[in-house]
Amino acid sequence: MFKKILVANRGEIAIRVARACQELGIATVGVYSTIDKTSYHLRYMDEAIWIGDSAPLSSYLNIDAIIDAAKKTKSEAIHPGYGFLAENSQFARACENAGLIFIGPNSNALALVGDKVTSRKTVKKLGVPIIPGMEMISKDLQEFKTSAKKVGYPVIIKASMGGGGKGMRIVRNEKELESSIAAGQREALSAFGDESVYLEKYIEQPRHIEFQVLRDNFGNTIHLYERECSIQRRHQKIIEETPSPALDDNLRVKMGEAAKRVIETADYTSAGTVEFLLDKDKNFYFLEVNARIQVEHPITEMVTGVDLVRQQILIASGKSMNLKQEQISQRGHAIETRIYAEDPENNFLPYPGKILFLSEPSGPGIRVDSGIYQGWDVPPHYDPILSKLIAWSETRGMSIIRVSYALKKYVILGIKTNIGYLNRILNTNSFIEGNYHTHFIDENEKELKSKAGNLDIALLAATLDKEKAKLSLTTETSLKSNPWKEIGEWEICKKKITK
């Protein structure tokens, strides 16, 4: 087993990885940018090393600085978390060349799954359904026209090297085709440095369902069932749950087997996610492979009891997987809500700033993967995710109630967050009935808009904190960040906020 691992990330996922290392008796090296010198993840690490200025390109995306930090600290392996360099095949190769173990798939497998047109071709050969469309990139308008006629409008233009919806264009008729291809190419070039686009049949109102898989270096593959990730806004997932309300056991088995078949190609190892779209008639289609531990991995851990990050580390260290498919089952139901520093009333603009008061929920079946603390200044340089609240219960209904009560107990003052917005999603009829798809947020925009007249305690706390500075109060209690003292009794505030 490794003696020391460098965690090339920040925030809640860096802490999640550090915990897994600690439990395996592995020392950890944390990394930080200039602004992150006081960030929470460093408190969970045995050592911390500065890797560059605050801008992501100078630090968490800086391959040379991270490899240097690993060498300097005599780390044997690097865990990339999610985002940043997690799926960067150049980074994986740089690790391989430096004699460091990249905790993830090897660089060849990474390069393959990053290319959508190639992976579509590969997957189709395995007999796994792909969305009808082109199996080559093309620059020839005539080829696009022919393909669109064949699959029927509407169609969608996609970037081959892309992800996250960038470079995508929905095309409803042949007249729009040429300009949509050009727009897709421009966007793909600026986002991914590669203008290759192709065309697929557009699936209306699909669900996004993904399967978690693990594969070791000895060819042992298991899947750990699905995650329903259809609650998204601008291609950012907000709430995920498992099991999916849309699958029955028969379909679940079929999709799980398909996911394993996908991951068994291209000598893929480590944890991976196979994404599918599910159409209204419950046909499923392969979408892409995510070659990383995902933000939403905890819901799988809650229902299967498998520690996915520990498995990643064991697999990377060359151990044979001790889990068999027959041992894996789904028990109960889990829901994750992502807590962001953003303003739902101002187009979800990031809302960095100082956390003046923090009280996080706990209790049976509650898990909080958090990267924040009271008094910390949320920096503006990175993704505004603060933490994840995950709830497990025996049934779907009880886990909705559990996560909803826990959200009401989640108090973050000084900055704006999406906590109230998350509870409004959970309280819609569509969500409660489990009857939703990827356009849920757009279609329910009105109902989800904040009700007017809510007392904004977070902002009030921030204002009072500034006032206090102006008055330069100097008593011991006033120096501590405690907005409740200024606002009044907790009970009075609580009634005003929640009712």
Peptide bond into 80 cis (omega under 30): no
Which residue, 16 or 201, has its beta carbon nearer to ligand MV4?
201
Q: Is 438 in the site for ligand MV4 (CB under 6 A)?
A: yes
Residue 388, token pair as written in the block: 């994840």
For the bound state, the minimum distance from the C-beta of residue 127 to ligand MV4, rounded and expressed in Å, comes to: 19
Binding flags for ligand MV4, 201-230, as an x/- string (CB under 6 A): xxx--x-x----------------------
Name the active-site residue from 292, 367, 396, 402.
Answer: 292
User: Counting Cβ atoms within 10 Å, is residue 324 exposed (0-12), middle (13-18) or buried (19+)?
Assistant: exposed
Q: Is 232 in the site for ligand MV4 (CB under 6 A)?
A: yes
**How far is the C-alpha of 413 from the C-alpha of 179, rounded, in Å?**
47
101-102 sheet: strands from edge to edge: 47-52, 27-33, 4-7, 77-79, 101-102
* Footprint of ligand MV4 on 339-398 (CB under 6 A): none
Binding part of the chain for ligand MV4, among 57-65, 89-97, 196-204, 245-253 by CB under 6 A, reads 196-204
User: Counting Cβ atoms within 10 Å, is residue 282 exposed (0-12), middle (13-18) or buried (19+)?
Assistant: exposed
For the bound state, the minimum distance from the C-beta of residue 208 to ligand MV4, rounded and expressed in Å, comes to: 6
Q: Is 200 in the site for ligand MV4 (CB under 6 A)?
A: yes
Which residue, 394 or 442, has its beta carbon nearer to ligand MV4?
442
Of 235, 254, 485, 495, the residue at the interface with ligand MV4 (CB under 6 A) is 235
Which residue, 46 or 279, has its beta carbon nearer to ligand MV4?
279
Tell me how many residues contact ligand MV4 (CB under 6 A). 16
* Nearest CA-CA partner of 389 in 407, 364, 405, 376: 407
Which residue, 6 or 246, has its beta carbon nearer to ligand MV4?
246
**How far is the C-alpha of 213 from the C-alpha of 220, rounded, in Å?**
11
Instruction: Give the amino acid at 401.
Output: I
For the bound state, the minimum distance from the C-beta of residue 386 to ligand MV4, rounded and expressed in Å, comes to: 23
**How far is the C-alpha of 428 from the C-alpha of 481, rounded, in Å?**
36
For the bound state, the minimum distance from the C-beta of residue 131 to ligand MV4, rounded and expressed in Å, comes to: 4
Residue 235, token pair as written in the block: 């291609």
Is 292 one of the annotated active-site residues of the chain? yes
**How far is the C-alpha of 338 from the C-alpha of 488, rounded, in Å?**
30
154: left (phi over 0), alpha (psi -120 to 50) or beta: beta
Q: Is 131 in the site for ligand MV4 (CB under 6 A)?
A: yes
- Work out the angle between the directed axes of helices 89-97 and 107-114 (0-180°, nearest 10): 170
Please give the residue whose beta carbon sits closest to ligand MV4 in the complex.
Answer: 438
Which residue, 202 or 431, has its beta carbon nearer to ligand MV4?
202
Q: Where are the alpha helices (DSSP H) in 369-489?
A: 396-408, 419-426, 429-433, 440-443, 445-448, 457-471, 476-479, 483-487
360: left (phi over 0), alpha (psi -120 to 50) or beta: beta
Q: Is 132 in the site for ligand MV4 (CB under 6 A)?
A: no
Q: Is 238 in the site for ligand MV4 (CB under 6 A)?
A: no
Binding flags for ligand MV4, 263-282, as an x/- string (CB under 6 A): --------------x-----
For the bound state, the minimum distance from the C-beta of residue 158 to ligand MV4, rounded and expressed in Å, comes to: 7
Total number of residues shown for the chain: 499
Give the residue numbers marked as catalytic: 292
Which positions touch ligand MV4 (CB under 6 A)? 131, 156, 163, 165, 168, 200-203, 206, 208, 232, 235, 277, 287, 438
